[in-house]
Amino acid sequence: MRSTETQDSEVTHTRPCSSGAAGPVDFLRNFFSQTLSLGTQKERLLDELTLEGVARYMQSERCRRVICLVGAGISTSAGIPDFRSPSTGLYANLEKYHLPYPEAIFEIGYFKKHPEPFFALAKEFYPGQFKNIDTLERVAGLEPEDLVEAHGTFHTSHCVSPLCRREYSLSWMKEKIFSDVIPKCEKCQGVVKPDIIFFGENLPARFFSCMQSDFQKADLLIVMGTSLQVQPFASLIGKAPLSTPRLLINKEKTGQRDPFLGMMLGLGGSMDFDSKKAYRDVAWLGDCDQGCLALADLLGWKPSPWTLLPGPQPHQFDFPEEVPTACPGGSQGHHRRGETPVTALLGDS
C-alpha cells in the first residue's frame, strides 16, 4: 500500500538543455519516474532506519514473511575462504592444472571435455572448504523447502547426459572424489557432476519459481554477505513490494545504483541508505555473524549456553515460545520454537 500523496521535492523534473529542449535521457527519466511512481512518497513501515527499527518491525504483526538473500560473506566466521582470496583462494592455485584460463575449470563446456582438472581440485573445495557451495545452511538445520541454493549445491549430483540425468547422493560423490576416480554414471557411463552451477549453466528452476511466487509476498528482505554484483541474483532486491523494508548486513554498503539506469538495464532496484528520500533501507556494517547476533539480541533470541563451548558448533537460539511469522510461499500463522521462519537464497560472492 502506498500513499497517493506526492511531495514536490520528490518529483523528478525534466531539466532543459542549453537549446531549451529536454535532453533524451532527462525526458526518459522524467517519463519513467512519473509512470512508475519513482518520485512518489512510499509507505514507511519502519519507525526508524536502524537495526533497532528493524527489530521492532519484526516483532510486529506486519512482519510475517522474511526472505534472506545471502552470499559468501556469511561463511567468513566459519574459516571458509573465498574462491578469490589472494593466497588461499582457488584461483590462486590453478597453474598446475594447465588450464587455458582460470575460469575454465568452472565452465560446463570445458568440464564435459576435460573433467579431470575439476575433480583433481574438488578435494580442495569440497563442502566446508570454500564459500557459496559450503552447505552450511543444511548443517545448521535449515529445511530444504526453506532453502534456494542459487549457485547450486554439492548435496546432490547428476549425470551430465541430457538423455540420462540420473541423480547421485553426496556420499556417492564424496567416495569418488576422495578415491581419485572420475565419477561415471552407473547407467550410461556419462560423467557425473555435482549440482553446483558452472559458467554456461542456467540457475536452478526453483530459483526462478520462488522469485515469482515469494517476493511479492515478502514483508522483509535481509541481505547478508553479498556484493550484489552478479545477475540475476543482484536484481532480487527489486522484486519485493515498494513498501517492504530491506536490511543489509555486510562489511560495506552495496546494492546502490541509479534506479532509473538499473531499470533500463534490467538490473533491478537500488538500495537507498543515505538520501533524504530513504524510507525502508537499513545498513548494518560489519561481520555477518556479529550483525545477526546483534539483531537476535534485540529480538530477545538468546544463544544457548552450549554454543559457547570450543569447536565448530552452529549458533542456536532460545526463542520465545511462540514467534509470529509466516512460511515462505504464503501461509500465515505462528511458528513454534525451533521452526524456521525464512526462505534463504544463496547468492554471489
- Assess contact for 206 and 213: CB atoms under 8 A: no
- pLDDT band (50, 70, 90) for residue 19: very low
Which of 291, 324, 293, 288 minimizes the C-alpha distance to 308?
A: 293
pLDDT confidence of residue 5: 36
One-character DSSP codes across 265-319 = TT------SSSTT--SEEEEES-HHHHHHHHHHHHT-EEPGGGGSSSSPPP-EE-
Query: Which residues belong to the annotated binding site?
Result: 159, 164, 185, 188
pLDDT confidence of residue 28: 60
Order of strands across the sheet that contains 246-250: 147-149, 342-346, 66-70, 220-224, 246-250, 281-285
The fraction of the chain above a pLDDT of 90, given in percent, is 35
pLDDT confidence of residue 262: 56
pLDDT confidence of residue 302: 75
Q: How many CB atoms lie within 10 A of CB 180?
A: 9
pLDDT confidence of residue 266: 54
Q: What is the mean pLDDT of residues 9-18?
A: 37
Q: What is the mean pLDDT of residues 255-262?
A: 65
Better-scored residue on pLDDT, 12 or 82: 82
- What is this structure's pTM? 0.69
Domains along the sequence of the chain with CATH = 44-74+205-346 (3.40.50.1220), 81-130+152-196 (3.30.1600.10)
pLDDT confidence of residue 75: 75
pLDDT confidence of residue 185: 97
pLDDT confidence of residue 228: 87
- Helices then strands (H, E): number in the chain? 9, 13
pLDDT confidence of residue 45: 96
pLDDT confidence of residue 8: 36
Query: Which residues belong to the annotated binding site for Zn(2+)?
Result: 159, 164, 185, 188
Better-scored residue on pLDDT, 320 or 333: 320
One-character DSSP codes across 323-338 = EEEE-TTS-EEEEETT
Does the structure show a pLDDT above 80 at 209? yes
Does the structure show a pLDDT above 70 at 197? yes
pLDDT confidence of residue 329: 37
pLDDT confidence of residue 192: 97
**335 flagged as catalytic:** no
pLDDT confidence of residue 21: 47
pLDDT confidence of residue 10: 35
CA dist 197 to 72, 147, 193, Å? 15, 16, 10
Q: Which of 13, 114, 151, 335 is catalytic?
A: 151
Lowest-confidence region among 107-121, 165-179, 231-245, 316-330: 316-330
Q: Which tens digit of pLDDT belongs to each residue from 290-317?
A: 999 999 999 998 765 445 444 544 445 5
Does the structure show a pLDDT above 60 at 199? yes
The fraction of the chain above a pLDDT of 70, given in percent, is 62
pLDDT confidence of residue 323: 43
- pLDDT band (50, 70, 90) for residue 30: low
pLDDT confidence of residue 113: 93
Q: What is the mean pLDDT of residues 64-73?
A: 90
pLDDT confidence of residue 182: 95
Lowest-confidence region among 39-53, 110-124, 194-208, 304-318: 304-318
CB-count burial class (<10 Å; 0-12, 13-18, 19+) for 313:
exposed
Lowest-confidence region among 192-196, 229-233, 258-262: 258-262
